[in-house]
Amino acid sequence: MKTAQPKHRYGMVIDLDRCNGCGACAVACAVENNVAPARAKTNDRTGLTWMRVYRANNGEQFPDHRTVYFPISCQHCGEHTPCVSVCPQNAVDVSPETGVVSQIPPRCLGCRYCMTACPYHARYFNWFDPVWPAGMEKTLNPDVSVRMRGVVEKCNFCHSRWQAAKAKAAAAGSRDLDPADYVPACVEACPSQAITFGDLADSRTPVSKLARSRNAFRLLEAIGTDPKVHYLSEREWVRRLGDADVAAMEPEVVRG
């Protein structure tokens, strides 16, 4: 299913040479989007991490072994969006205005076809009721609804922040929002400023320029999903990882 080109194409460029795997993006995302903490039995297969940082390596032995951290969220595919194609409920929506792929939890039946279809393993299923320790629910972000058990959820480039930026622009009598007003939580939280966000459709934006740079690449580019998340690295072996299966990135790491 070919998706119509939206007016804006919001996307991000992640400089992997600056990322050192601190996890600030993953935690900021969970706080912003009211993603519940893990239960005692939750593991990396049943957890909810809209932004997950994977560790990959160059395959060499010590001391030539080198690691790279890959922050991977929904790649917001622009073409043949697999999750949209398979959803029987129309619970996945590609915004005609922003190009952002959004999940609509109240429509979702929990069939998880979209999870199977997603080549980036960037969708997560709510296996449990979202529970915070008593009292901590007072700290939830009022701009984001808590999702129920039995539905799929994923990154939406902090949709509530886009809504807020749009409202601010409208209040100022403008139709165009100020790019500084719409910054996803992971971008804002990155201590090494490895993530650049903006409109890829505007060739003048920093994100657009970075996405066109020599060292930019996308994950699984060959399958033609046109992801709007780009990666940067000066290291060739890192760029080659763009064609690898993300689930196979951590063959050595196990959970304790």
Partner 1 sequence: MKINVTRRDVFRVAAGTAAGVMLTPAPWKLVDDLAIWTQNWSWIPVPSNGPVTTASTVCSLCPAGCGLEARCVSGIPVSLKGREHPICPLGQTGHHLPFHPARITCPVHVDHGPVRNPLRKVSLEQVLNAFRKKSESDVVAVLDTRPGRSMSAAWRRFIAGQPRGIYLPSPNREGASLATAESLLAAPPETIGYDTPNARTIVSFGAPLAEGWGASPVVNRLLDDDVRLIQIEPVWSRTAELADTWLPARPGTEAVVALAIANVLLAELRIGGETLAAASDRAAYESLVARFTPEVAAGITGLRARDISNAARTIAANLPAVVIAGEDPAGGRLGTESETAILGLNLLLGSGLTHRRPLPEPFDGKLAPALALATVPDRSIRRLIIDASAGDSAMPWPAIVRKLAADAVVIALSPFAAGTARRADYIVPTLPFLEAVQEIGTAETSPVATFTLSAAILPPAAGPIDPVAFLHAIGGSLEFSSLEELIAARTARIHAAGRGSVITFGDGSTKRIAEFESADAMRDALLEGGRWIDDPIEQPAPRAFSLLNGSGPELARQPAQHALTLMPRSTRDATASAAVSPVVSKLDQESALRRCGRTAAVNPETARKLGVRNGKKARLSTAMGAIAVTIATDAAVMPDVIELCVGPDAIARGEKGARHSLNALDLCPAAGDGVWRTTEAKLVVEG
Q: Residue from 7, 55, 212, 240 that binds partner 1 (CB under 8 A)?
A: 55
- C-alpha to C-alpha distance for 127 and 133, rounded to whole angstroms: 18
Q: Which of 93, 112, 119, 188 contacts partner 1 by CB under 8 A?
A: 188
Q: Does 139 bind partner 1 (CB under 8 A)?
A: yes
Interface with partner 1 (CB under 8 A), residue from 117, 148, 169, 220: 148
Asked if 106 interacts with partner 1 (CB under 8 A), we say yes
Helix, strand, coil % (nearest 5) of the chain?
A: 25, 15, 60
200 near partner 1, rule: CB under 8 A: no
What amino acid is encoded at 22 in this protein? C
User: Minimum Å distance from CB 46 to partner 1?
Assistant: 8
- Site size with partner 1, rule: CB under 8 A: 75
Binding of partner 1 by 96 (CB under 8 A): no
CB of 9 to partner 1, least distance (A): 25
Question: Scanning residues 220 to 239, which ones bind partner 1 (CB under 8 A)?
Answer: none
DSSP designation for 50: S
Residues in the chain: 256
Q: Which of 1, 136, 167, 172 binds partner 1 (CB under 8 A)?
A: 136
The DSSP bridge pattern shows strands 101-103 and 92-94 to be: antiparallel
Q: Which residues of 163-197 are buried (b: 16+ CB within 10 A; e: fewer)?
A: eebbeebeeeeeeebebeebbbbbbebbeeebbbb
161 vs 101: CA distance, rounded Å: 15
Position 47 contacts partner 1 (CB under 8 A): yes
Say whether residue 160 binds partner 1 (CB under 8 A): no
- How far apart, in whole angstroms, are the C-alpha atoms of residue 71 and residue 159? 19
244 forms part of the interface with partner 1 (CB under 8 A): no
Binding partner 1 (rule: CB under 8 A), the pick from 4, 171, 180, 254 is 254
Of 2, 4, 43, 180, the one binding partner 1 by CB under 8 A: 43
Whether 84 contacts 102, CB under 8 Å = no
Task: Please say whether the beta carbons of 8 and 201 come within 8 A.
Answer: yes
CA–CA distance, 162 with 181 (Å, rounded to integer): 8
Q: Is residue 189 a contact point for partner 1 (CB under 8 A)?
A: yes
Contacting range for partner 1; rule: CB under 8 A; set: 75-83, 186-194, 207-215, 227-235:
186-194
If binding is defined by CB under 8 A, does position 66 make contact with partner 1? yes
**Least separation, in Å, of the C-beta of 2 and partner 1?**
27
Whole-number minimum distance, CB 245 to partner 1, in Å? 16
Tokens of residue 28, six digits: 């900021």
